[in-house]
Chains A and B, each alone.
Chain A
Amino acid sequence: MLDLLWIVPALPFLGFLILALFGARMPGKAAAAVGVASAGLSALITILIGISFISSPPQGRVYIQTLWEWFNVAGMNPSIALRLDPVSLTFIFVITFVGFLIHLYSVEYMEGEEGYSRFFAYMNLFVGSMLMLVLGDNLILLYLGWEGVGLCSYLLIGFWYKDPENGYAARKAFIVTRVGDTAMAIGLFILFTELGTLNIGKILEQAPLNWAVGSSLPVLTAALLLGGAVGKSAQLPLQTWLPDAMAGPTPVSALIHAATMVTAGVYLIARMHVIFTLAPVILTIVGVVGALTLLIAGFSALTQSDIKRVLAYSTISQIGYMFLALGVGAWSAGIFHFMIHAFFKALLFLGSGVIILALHHEQNMFKMGGVKNMLPVTFWTFIIGSASLVALPLITGGFYSKDLILFYAFSGERANHWLYAAGLLGAFITALYTTRMVVITFFGEAKTHLHRKPTWIMEVPLIVLAVLSTFGGFIELPDTLGHLTLFSGFIQTILPANSAEGAGISTELILQIVAAVTVILGIFIAYLFYYKNPEKVASFRWSSFGNTLHNYWKKGWGFDWLYDKLIVTPVVWIAEVNKSDFIDLIYTFIAWINRVFNRAFSFTQSGRVRWYAMGIALGAIITLTIAVFL
């Protein structure tokens, strides 16, 4: 069964090829069928492979399938080879399965758009590239997937290409992440120069043998890899591209900018965990970056009026939790949160997509209101997704995954109480902004009328994702609630376990109660302010202090402004000033000097004998003078 692995990425690539070559001439239905079928079959095969992998795991829990040798130069010999282990299996399951649901959803969402087949072509290319990213058995192949998903993200953000703003957002996403990728590329050069290989298995094996813990090379390498990770995962300081990325169609936001691609940084760090363990400083920085990002993004989410931007900041914030988990060495908790987050965030985006479409492409929450009764399925699934996002205790998947992260941050091997506090505060803010979003969107008076109702094609993915984001959490239960470690047991066969010795059941129970109280308190306060007494919020928001703070947070803490002043403007200025290339002046000058001499000499060629005679006389005098006096 495992030898079917190559088909999993091959199918979406095939779908892309068919759509790219013949899509323009295909009827819309056929194009959609190709797009959905390739993703669906890929998901089906992934599930079969997953069953076979779990029931009869290969030796060492790693299965490698080599397709062909890519190139071979002076010891650099990456293969096009796929590496399946518990981590990559989890990722390909999420990618293909959530990917399939979103493809299905898009059939209706994108109906009637110009470039219908182009959309599915890009989506298929994305799924294929993302699969290469997580399945690549060497870092160059991973880099191929890494850049490939960046490209698809660019193409899909700018899908509605006629609006220059979309194009700007698309370019921003590509260029900002490419800054991170460049750091990562240098990291790869170091790895190859020092370890002589870019094969993931060999790096994990060689690095501890060659490098001491905390020595400069692993620290530098880990820092550069982190640069790549923060770019793709929209963490500080490269988080600025993600909110703008919402310019793309909503299914794109759901798949690429929430569920899969943006978690690639988490994958990279987990994949290269050995390097990060050799560089404890950088691992701590990973945690700090996560903590800062989750707070900053949480506050920004609190001030947005565009529903998709709320979700975008929420995504940044939730990935912050994953980084925090990695930073405290809770590897499996980070991956677990990735999976649950993929379910509920895809659900929330798709739900918001239904509303946006139903209300004639209205994205401003303050112009919605009262959607509860218009779209009941969407409402209830959205509530389930939101509950998971705020980590409502006991009944949601998000509770179990977030609880695990907070637990390790408090009492794990690399526990850090500051990080724990940030995580807890983040949970409170999450409850605030989520409740705010739900209240404003679904409750109150309807400010607009229903434009169209979704059919089953859009509702089935919502229901499936709602089920997953609730029950997906039950495969990993804490000690206090039945102690089930299906997920972490599975992941920890490949990633190091994090023991929380010394932390007894009582600590765990107290932590859970604290977290639960925080969340419920958050929801309650938000309910009080945004539902019961919205005028109080409004009066604070429009006070001069409130207004300043609001605008500052709404604009993402001024990072865009800073980068614009610091980097973009100077570079553009230099480019503009030097448009005609100042070096050319040197040559223009040489040419000009020649022309001047030419004119001067041709002036002397006047053809008048007296001038010539005078010239000869003058020359003779000067020569004689020089000869006599010197």
Chain B
Amino acid sequence: MILLWLVIILMAGGIAAWIAAKWNVMAARWISLIATLVDFVLAIIIWVEHPSGITLGANAPWLVDFRWNWIPSFGISFHMAIDGLSLLLVLLTMFIGVLSVLTSWTEIEYRAGFFHFNLLWILAGITGVFLSLDLFMFYFFWEVMLIPMYFLIGIWGHENRIYASFKFFIFTQASSLFMLVAIVALYFIHGKNTGVYTFDYLQLLGTALPPAAEMWLMFGFLIAFVVKLPIVPLHNWLPDAHTEAPTAGSVVLAALLLKTGAYGILRFVIPLFPNAVRDFQVPGMILGAIGIIYGAILAFAQTDFKRLVAYTSVNHMGFVMLGAFALNELALQGVVMQMLCHGISTGALFILVGALYERIHTRDLNKMGGFWDQIPRMGGVGLVFALASLGLPGLGNFIAEFLILAGSYMANNWVTAVATLGLVASTIYSLRIMARVFYGRKPKIEKHIPDFNVREMIIMGSLIAAIVWLGVFPHPVLDTSRPAINNIINTTSQSSSMSNLKKPLLPVKTGTTVQLAGKSEKGGAR
């Protein structure tokens, strides 16, 4: 039931905030803050109770399971469950949720009630996506998070908001229709094979599929997820949507919405279509490497601060794609870290951009410079997250990228060597942020800019604490996700033995190399 509450509290909180705003705007803010805080606490409680992802059953990695037959005649059930992977992402959702309510505290004046309703419903949709184990339900929540986001961009966005919101909607909606078709096809194929027509994820796992069909269905799912991720050349909605959205919208987009794409690949694409994924491994990794380099080059060229940060997401999500298709524990654990760390670091950068925009009413880098002496706190915070963005050791992003690259090196040397060049590229654009905003000569407009206030320092302080913690002592996070990740790898290795493919996931070298299969079985049995 606790899982259901996570979603219900957000949805109810959103409605309550909308109604409350009719008589008091501050009440709407407080209701939203309390709703997200309560959910955050609930998520922490789940985590504390299952610190290292201890499993319910012997073979399943699920920590909490909730099932209710919704439409039995179609095989649709209301099935929510949480494992280490989704737990971490729910934690991130609630953490970012609290901060995005806080960051909109003074920014949003116009129709604040409806704004908070949308914000909380997006969070609810995202939470639902992370928790659903029924494909029908999953699709339902996938759409729930889309529409309020459309409103968020379209109503509270910047100058070009209508264009951006349409673009965002069309890209994501069109791509998710492919997924809908694939879901229905999978439903019928499974039904025809076994006589059981169901949308239940656990039952659909291991559906025997003819190779061609498996490849097509995989593409159906993948296209929805890589548009969200996003992957070059399907990334074009992102810079517009991120740039035009209000701060909280950008934060939620970058920190959470993109992660649903990554989560979808890990949760659905790899386990449901392991053979097709393995065949698509090298192209998948190449797409990741392209995203890394291309995103960085574009980020470097931007003169709009927010757009620059937006393109860094393309760069960082390339790592996710690369790691996901490397298909080994090292890389996949790196992907989990990358999802969390990118959520924190890019979220922080967007909050910084938003705060700066609130003060100087421009995002144009050409009109900035030399702000360090006026706003040293903002400068320090900016420095920390620019460094996180370039993958400085000691901050979480380094561990994420190092694990991904080390793991993907095992899967493919050359693609990884090219992707590693992204480290140089990300250095260039990250340092450019500091150079253009905080260092150098001041622009002519002499004007007093207030530094971060207490509320903003609380937001930033907690983000810095989180990113340092992930960089110095990531054990709790990695322990939590390990069973889930091993379970994902198991599904791919099992199916390889079923289809008599003798190709091992890792090129196993003389004795010293990691024996992945053996390790993951052990992890799964715990």
Contact = CB atoms under 8 A, between A and B. Distances in A.
Q: What class of interface size applies to chain A in its complex with B?
A: 35 or more
B329 A178 contact: no
Contacts of A210: 510, 512
A167 B512 contact: no
A194 interface: yes
Interface string B316-357: 000000000000111001100000000000000000000000
Interface string B491-515: 0000000000000000001101110
Most buried by B among A189, A195, A196, A584: A189
Interface string B410-442: 100000110011011001100110010011111
A341 interface: no
B431 A143 contact: no
A586 B234 CA distance: 10
Given A162-B370, A581-B239, A186 B417 contact: yes
A630 interface: no
A206 B512 contact: yes
A151 interface: yes
Q: For chain A, what secondary structure do more than half of its interface residues adopt (helix, strand, loop), or is it mixed?
A: helix
Contacts of A584: 236
A579 B301 contact: yes
Interface in A175-198: 175, 178-179, 181-182, 185-186, 188-190, 192-197
Interface string A147-173: 110010010001001101001000100
Contacts of A194: 509, 512-513
Contact of B439 (A167, A189, A571, A586): A167
B380 interface: yes
A82 to B, nearest CB: 15
B72 interface: no
Contact of B431 (A20, A114, A171, A188): A171
Contacts of A181: 423
Contact of B405 (A143, A178, A179, A185): A185
B298 interface: yes
A75 interface: yes
Given A76-B406, A158-B439, A114 B373 contact: yes
A71 B398 CA distance: 12
A300 to B, nearest CB: 26
A581 B393 contact: no
B87 interface: no
A140 B417 CA distance: 18
A574 interface: yes
Given A151-B387, A189-B416, A174 B431 contact: yes
B315 to A, nearest CB: 13
A73 B509 contact: no
A510 interface: no
Contacts of B387: 151
Given A171-B431, A584-B236, A161 B333 contact: no
B394 A148 contact: yes
Interface in A106-150: 114, 140, 143-144, 147-148
A19 to B, nearest CB: 12
Given A161-B372, A186-B416, 17 more contacts: A71-B478, A73-B333, A74-B330, A143-B393, A144-B393, A144-B398, A147-B398, A151-B392, A171-B432, A175-B424, A175-B431, A186-B409, A193-B410, A197-B512, A206-B512, A575-B298, A579-B302
Interface of A: 20, 24, 68-76, 80, 114, 140, 143-144, 147-148, 151, 154, 158, 161-162, 164, 167, 171, 174-175, 178-179, 181-182, 185-186, 188-190, 192-197, 206, 210, 571, 574-576, 578-579, 581, 583-584, 586-587
